[in-house]
């Protein structure tokens, strides 16, 4: 299972939010490029970037930071936040980004998702952010009446390469992933599911590893890497390719703590 470090961009800096609340942001670094390099040096095989300003604005805002990271590291990058039209997606791919993550448009403009999946096969990921099983949109500022599992099935039919599932009530809380919701979602579709939200320890990652046969192929880890609750090198050893079984959990240190 892939361990995917998250780099959340707000005003050009690397931050973490608590439960998606922009008012509760904590700055971890003024230099996101150095953060990206650090995670790659520690074994990351993929990076997850979120343009938090873009998620609110509805278009890419942190373009310079995204471009700088894409040119500085050799691993593939996925980017989400504010991608609500074709030109934004095209712009990302021109910078060398591997996957574009669509969120709000999946609910509001499914036909656009279908068009983009056809134009950029295997490069469109749909991010489903749920609060109590219902999909949230527009930077998590609004909650729809759409069930997460229903949306996942629809997006698979439209050609999405994968689903990133975020449980908002767990995000940034270090309270552990919502395994039941993950199991339900992964069981409803056959495309890969990448889990996000609440991962707090190597033990959490090992518990998610049990869902790998059902299609949970990766876990996005944010706050726990920055606080030192998870050491990326140990996490990769525990659940990544060529993993070492039964390592002691919670071998943490942090460059940011």
Of the candidates 133, 31, 32, 147, the residue with the CA atom closest to the CA atom of residue 79:
32
The pair of structure tokens assigned to 94 is 């021109």
Q: How many CB atoms lie within 10 A of CB 190?
A: 10
8 labelled catalytic = yes
Indicate which residue of 51, 129, 171, 229 is catalytic: 129
41 labelled catalytic = no
| Cα–Cα distance measured from residue 184 to residue 101, given in angstroms and rounded to the nearest whole number | 21
C-beta separation of 231 from 255 below 8 A: no
Task: Give the pairing type, strands 216-221 and 99-102.
Answer: unpaired
List Cα–Cα distances, 144 to 156, 201, 225, in angstroms: 19, 31, 31
What is the chain's Cα-based Rg?
A: 17
Indicate which residue of 8, 51, 204, 229 is catalytic: 8
- Catalytic residue numbers, as ranges: 8, 129
């Amino acid at each position: 299972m892939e361990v995917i470090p998250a780099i959340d961009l707000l005003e050009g800096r690397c931050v973490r939010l608590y439960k998606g609340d922009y008012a509760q942001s904590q700055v971890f670094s003024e230099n996101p490029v150095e953060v990206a390099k650090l995670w790659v040096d520690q074994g990351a095989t993929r990076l997850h970037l979120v343009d938090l300003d873009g998620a609110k604005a509805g278009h890419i805002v942190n373009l310079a930071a995204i471009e700088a990271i894409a040119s500085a590291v050799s691993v593939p990058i996925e980017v989400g936040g504010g991608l609500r039209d074709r030109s934004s997606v095209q712009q990302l791919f021109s910078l060398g980004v591997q996957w574009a993550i669509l969120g709000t448009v999946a609910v509001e403009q499914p036909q656009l998702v279908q068009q983009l999946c056809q134009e950029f096969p295997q490069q469109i990921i749909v991010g489903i952010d749920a609060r109590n099983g219902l999909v949230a949109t527009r930077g998590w500022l609004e909650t729809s009446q759409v069930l997460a599992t229903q949306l996942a099935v629809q997006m698979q039919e439209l050609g999405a390469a994968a689903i990133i599932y975020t449980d908002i009530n767990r995000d940034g809380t270090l309270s552990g992933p919502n395994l039941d919701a993950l199991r339900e979602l992964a069981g409803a579709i056959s495309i890969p599911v990448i889990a996000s939200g609440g991962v707090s320890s190597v033990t959490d990652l090992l518990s998610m590893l049990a869902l790998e046969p059902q299609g949970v192929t990766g876990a996005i880890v944010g706050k726990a890497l920055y606080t030192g609750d998870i050491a990326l090198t140990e996490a990769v050893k525990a659940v990544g390719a060529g993993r070492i079984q039964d390592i002691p959990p919670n071998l943490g240190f942090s460059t940011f703590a």
